[in-house]
Amino acid sequence: MSSRVVQPAQTRCEMTWIVLPQHANALGTAFGGAVMSWIDICAAVSAQRFTRTTVVTASMDELSFRGPIPQGHVAVLQAMVNWAGRTSMEVGVRVEHEDPSTGIRAHTSTAYLTFVALDQDGVKVKVPTLRPKTPEEVRRWGEAERRRERRLAARAQEHALKAKA
């Protein structure tokens, strides 16, 4: 059982990748699947910084692609834990592409992932307390709570439909 208190800023993770030919599609931009993989890795590091345990991805939702990342540009991913419950947490990830010749960045993707903390035997464990301090962290916490409520409602509706079938 964890009694640690962690601020969201302590969970921050930033990763970068150069979009190489093996990451690019026929249009010369990063494959969506490659970006999804990078998002999952960056979010997992953030979640592990928070829990100091093994974490597994439970879901990725609200992934939206706003624009492409051209081959040769740098993908910059920034992740932070937004919300934490008893054994799970939400991590938000923002993806930007950086033009290496100008340094100019543009927002390309956003995703929200839910992770569950596990012990060495694969059993769910209690996560630390997440204590948002800044107005931005408090805002992100509230938005994450609303996303969680929507996920739980969708799951309940799915179970109800299966029960009727």
pLDDT tens profile 13-64: 999 999 999 999 999 999 999 999 999 999 999 999 999 999 999 999 878 8
pLDDT tens profile 87-145: 999 999 999 999 999 999 999 999 999 999 999 999 999 999 999 999 999 999 999 99
Give the chain's domains with CATH numbers.
Answer: 5-164 (3.10.129.10)
Q: How far is CA 122 from CA 24, 55, 108, 125, in A?
A: 35, 9, 34, 9
Q: Smallest Cα–Cα separation from 46: which of 14, 75, 74, 83?
A: 14
72/19 Cα distance (integer angstroms): 5
Say if residue 164's pLDDT is above 90.
Answer: no
| pLDDT for position 3 | 78
2 band by pLDDT with thresholds 50, 70 and 90: low
Task: Name the pTM for this structure.
Answer: 0.92
130/8 Cα distance (integer angstroms): 7
